[in-house]
Amino acid sequence: MPLDLTTTLAELVAIPSVNPLGHAAEGPEFFERRVTDYLERLFLHHGIVTHRQPIAPLRDNLIARVDGHPSPESGGQLLLLEAHQDTVPVDGMTIEPFTPAIRDGRLYGRGSCDVKGGLTAMLGALVRLAEDKSGVDRPTVILACTVNEEHGFTGASGLCRFWSDLRSPLIPRRPQVAVVAEPTGLEIVVAHKGMVRWRCHTRGRAAHSSQPEQGDNAIYRMARVVAALERYARDVLPQQAAHALCGRPTLSVGTIAGGIGVNLVPPRATIEIDRRVLPGEDPLAAYRQAIDYITSALADPASAAHVEHEPPYMQSQGLADGDNRRLAERLSAAVRAVTGTAATCGVPYGTDAAAIAGSGVPAVVFGPGSIQQAHTADEWLPLDELHAASEILYRFARQGI
């Protein structure tokens, strides 16, 4: 029996799988384990074989396989579908995050758009393939439900080790192509940016605030660093060559912290920096370029000596268009067959597709919903796109790659 997509999505939304984004966290709402358990039961119910791949405590990739004709062990095609299980936190939401509600053709709740809707579309396609007994030649399909996409892509990186090291009982060799679920409005993303993130500290000297001249204010020092980064983002990066689909690189200071109390001159301040890189751009080179600019902007060597940059705690390549052109054309044909039109595009955000493509598997990004609804206070997914996406993926998988 085909999967009830609306019910399945509602059940997934009702199971919290919040990514703490690197912060200490305890409680049942954090991490992906409960969603992984749900998916494992769903696959078992439909007779689909699975394998759990531990990535971190309470965080397992779940890999499911539906055999095609002929099998990949006998030279048949191997298609990878991939979707992450985690969501961003729920702070500031104006709806009940884990109580799915349906209104006006939309399903509301945390993760409905990013990316449990895309995951559900893939689940529906996989179940239909598992029940297809026609004997028509088609690829073997792997559905990888990965962890920690929202803060490091470690699930996708761990998945790639399976075919790199030939250690998976379900993935006997490198897949030929991959489709990664994200909310793209049923457009096919063939290119996107990568990123590099790091922390920058300024050091000062503590003193009583009644005698600030006795100290060295680290926040004042950090203010000069932030001003330099603002100039770098405003004046330097816009002069770099643009990518035809992804535009120009960007930089943003996302967090700032410093000081112990208002009555103390702060001895230390910290910011976090997010630099988006273009396809083909080296994240570490971008990191070093920004640091060099800060050093030169401060001019005074004594001031620069009080600034410390940690090594990047997160980095990823962009997704380059080119190797995925044939894949995009074949997926476009399935999209047109269902919706009447198909479009390819580039986007400014990053996805698991970069890690998968970096391992030698041509990849595109596709799914229901709009990125404008991802991570929002009233996150929702249009149910008509959910059903269309699942139909598209089923047709694409059945026609061969």
H/E element, 164: helix 154-165
Cα angle, residue 249 at apex, residues 246 and 253 outer, rounded to 5° = 130
Q: Give the pLDDT of residue 113.
A: 98
Rounded to whole angstroms, the Cα distance separating 294 from 130 reads 56
Element containing residue 269 per DSSP (H, E): strand 268-277
pLDDT of the residue at 368: 98
Number of DSSP helices (H) and strands (E) in the chain, helices first: 10, 18
Give the domains, in start order, of the chain with CATH numbers. 5-192+318-399 (3.40.630.10), 198-316 (3.30.70.360)
Give the side-chain half-sphere CA count within 13 A for 171: 28
Q: Vertex 261, ends 258 and 264: CA angle to 5°? A: 95
The phi and psi torsions of 136 (rounded to 5 degrees) equal -70, 140
pTM of the model: 0.94
Cβ neighbours for 84, distance < 8 A, ≥ 6 positions apart:
115, 119, 145, 146, 147, 148, 149, 150, 155, 156, 181, 352
Candidates 339, 396, 383, 393; CA nearest to 104 is 383
Query: How confident is the model at residue 163, as a pLDDT?
Result: 85
Q: Which of 19, 319, 361 is nearest to 159 (CA)?
A: 361
Angle between helices 383-399 and 117-131 (to 10 degrees): 40
Q: From residue 355, how far is each of 65, 138, 172 by CA, in Å?
A: 21, 26, 19
**pLDDT for residue 168:** 72
pLDDT of amino acid 166: 64
The pLDDT of residue 73 is: 87
Weakly modelled stretches of the chain, pLDDT under 50: none
Task: Give kind and range of the element (H or E) at residue 157.
Answer: helix 154-165
